[in-house]
């Protein structure tokens, strides 16, 4: 009886472990965390079968006890071998250099870093003539970050003798061969469109290509920092500086929207400010060109805290969605708080669609009435009441700056 109880508990805990594994596998598709999860699950499974050997091979199938002992030893040795040799790869791979404080490292969202497929880095080929690693024609200097789509490298274009940021692209793991081919075709079509965007407030894409099956974007290399640093209540910028930043972002959005490009993932991590005050919107269009198929209703893309109501519903997006997102960034830069928060996606989506945020003046009494009106209009849940264009919002911000003498 005691033996049966022990086996029942063992089975119960294994089922719980399996449920946790299944959830974690969906949350971390690719990357070291996913590899570690798979490794641990294989180890647990082998141990489980080892523990149940007595039950299956003695009570159900009459097998000699010596044979059962040998099988149990083999299973446990196999489990330990899997854990040991599988774990070695986490100590012999190239160390993470994402902690660098220069360049595009600042545009990478740390929350997404665990989703990288580390095998992307293995696709870099050696240039035997120069003994330096390369992707396409670009010489790799160092790895500077990880993102949800791939690894970002600081590189050099030997043809033009300029520094370049190279972002590798990892396509979705759940696609079959046909799906991957269709996605790649779409990626190149839309990347070419994005590369044609030429605006001082949008990071330029120089080149798009493929090297030994690895797709990549070669982009403008920047020295600066993203806006995440200034979203804390203890590190807020002056209102006049915040307005200047939002004006520049609106200028970038207006230009892109006029070229039928919607960003889809406007957030502080994707807005970079350079030393001279120039603002650059990064990852423009990336949320679209890395989708598995052409944009369609029913698909939710973006970062939950910054999504528009229509984005949370999986509706077809227009430039108005980006305007709502920049309104949230505006709110956060002025108050050091997010307007919509929650412990899970459902809670955030509910608030975004149904609740009005706390008035920003509750956290920052220096916000003037004109700025408050512009902010509220940008964050209108109704498309009819929200700003129709980023250019319209930009002009109102310029007017508010002049009237409020915030410059």
DSSP secondary structure letter of residue 57: I
The CATH architecture of the domain made up of 225-404 is Orthogonal Bundle (1.10)
Torsion of CA 355, 357, 358, 364, to 10 degrees: -170
Residues 69 and 53: their CA atoms lie apart, in Å, by 9
Residue pair 377/387 in contact (Cβ under 8 Å)? The answer is yes
* Spatial CA neighbour of 350 closest among 299, 307, 287: 307
Q: What is the pLDDT of residue 45?
A: 82
Q: What is the pLDDT of residue 128?
A: 43
**Identical fold at 103-220 and 225-404?**
no
Instruction: Classify domain 103-220 at the CATH class level.
Output: alpha beta
Site of tokens 């911000």: 397
* Spatial CA neighbour of 393 closest among 253, 198, 271: 253
Partners of 155 in beta bridges: 140, 164
Q: What is the pLDDT of residues 288-305, one digit of tens each?
A: 554 433 444 444 456 889
DSSP secondary structure letter of residue 124: P
User: Which residues belong to the active site?
Assistant: 265
Residues 96 and 143: their CA atoms lie apart, in Å, by 8
Partners of 139 in beta bridges: 134, 156
Torsion of CA 103, 105, 109, 110, to 10 degrees: -160
Q: Where are the domains of the chain?
A: 2-92, 103-220, 225-404
Residue pair 361/372 in contact (Cβ under 8 Å)? The answer is yes
Residues 252 and 262: their CA atoms lie apart, in Å, by 11
pLDDT along the chain (407 residues), means of 10: 64 75 53 66 78 62 70 81 72 39 35 39 44 80 76 90 86 61 71 82 88 84 90 90 96 93 91 92 66 42 84 90 96 95 90 93 92 96 95 94 62
Q: Give the Cα-Cα-Cα angle 146, 154, 100 (nearest 5 degrees).
A: 60
Q: What is the pLDDT of residue 93?
A: 42
User: In a 3-state reduction of DSSP, which class is residue 156?
Assistant: strand
Q: What is the pLDDT of residue 250?
A: 97
Q: What backbone phi and psi angles, to 5 degrees, belong to 154?
A: -90, 125
* Spatial CA neighbour of 32 closest among 91, 115, 152, 96: 115
Residues 390 and 400: their CA atoms lie apart, in Å, by 15
DSSP-derived pairing of the beta strands 132-135 and 138-146:
antiparallel
Q: What does the buried/exposed string (b/e) look like for 378-399 if buried means 16 or more CB atoms within 10 Å of the residue's CB?
A: bbbeebeebbebbbebbebbee
**H or E, element range at 286:** helix 286-289
Alpha helix positions (H), 142-259: 177-195, 239-258
Residue pair 30/116 in contact (Cβ under 8 Å)? The answer is yes
Q: What is the pLDDT of residue 297?
A: 42
Q: What is the pLDDT of residue 185?
A: 75
Q: What backbone phi and psi angles, to 5 degrees, belong to 231?
A: -100, 5
Q: Give the Cα-Cα-Cα angle 355, 359, 362 (nearest 5 degrees).
A: 135
Residues 260 and 193: their CA atoms lie apart, in Å, by 10
DSSP secondary structure letter of residue 59: I
Q: What is the pLDDT of residue 332?
A: 96
Residues 216 and 168: their CA atoms lie apart, in Å, by 4
Beta-sheet strands, E only, within 205-281: 205-211, 214-220, 224-226, 271-274, 279-281
């Amino acid at each position: 009886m005691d033996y049966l109880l022990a086996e029942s508990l063992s089975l119960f805990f294994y089922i719980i472990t399996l449920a946790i594994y299944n959830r974690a596998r969906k949350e971390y598709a690719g990357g070291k965390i996913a590899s570690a999860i798979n490794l641990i699950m294989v180890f647990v499974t082998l141990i489980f079968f080892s523990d149940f050997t007595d039950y299956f091979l003695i009570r159900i199938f009459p097998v000699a006890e010596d044979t059962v002992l040998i099988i149990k030893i083999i299973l446990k040795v196999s489990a330990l071998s899997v854990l040991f040799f599988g774990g070695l790869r986490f100590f012999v791979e190239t160390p993470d250099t994402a902690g660098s404080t220069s360049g595009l490292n600042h545009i990478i969202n740390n929350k997404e870093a665990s989703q990288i497929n580390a095998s992307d880095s293995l696709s870099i080929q050696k240039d035997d003539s120069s003994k330096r690693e390369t992707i396409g024609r670009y010489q790799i200097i160092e790895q500077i970050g990880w993102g949800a789509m791939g690894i970002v490298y600081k590189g050099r274009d030997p043809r033009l003798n300029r520094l370049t940021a190279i972002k590798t692209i990892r396509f979705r793991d759940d696609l079959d061969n046909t799906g991957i081919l269709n996605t790649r075709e779409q990626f190149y079509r839309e990347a070419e469109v994005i590369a044609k965007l030429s605006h001082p407030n949008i990071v330029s894409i120089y080149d798009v290509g493929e090297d030994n099956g690895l797709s990549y974007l070669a982009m403008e290399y920047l020295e600066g920092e993203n806006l995440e640093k200034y979203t804390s209540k203890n590190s807020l910028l002056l209102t006049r500086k915040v307005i200047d930043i939002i004006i520049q972002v609106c200028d970038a959005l207006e230009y892109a929207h006029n070229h039928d490009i919607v960003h889809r993932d406007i957030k502080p991590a994707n807005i970079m400010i350079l030393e001279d005050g120039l603002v650059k919107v990064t990852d423009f269009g990336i949320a679209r060109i890395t989708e598995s198929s052409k944009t369609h209703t029913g698909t939710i893309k973006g970062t939950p805290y910054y999504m528009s109501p229509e984005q949370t519903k999986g509706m077809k997006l227009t430039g108005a969605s980006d305007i709502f997102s920049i309104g949230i960034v505006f709110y956060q830069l002025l108050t050091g708080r997010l307007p919509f928060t929650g412990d899970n996606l459902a809670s955030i989506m509910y608030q975004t669609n149904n609740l009005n945020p706390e008035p920003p003046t509750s956290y920052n009494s220096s916000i003037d009435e004109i700025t408050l009106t512009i902010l509220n209009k940008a964050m209108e849940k109704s498309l009819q009441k929200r700003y129709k264009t980023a250019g319209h919002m930009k002009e109102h911000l310029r007017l508010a700056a002049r009237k409020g003498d915030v410059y």
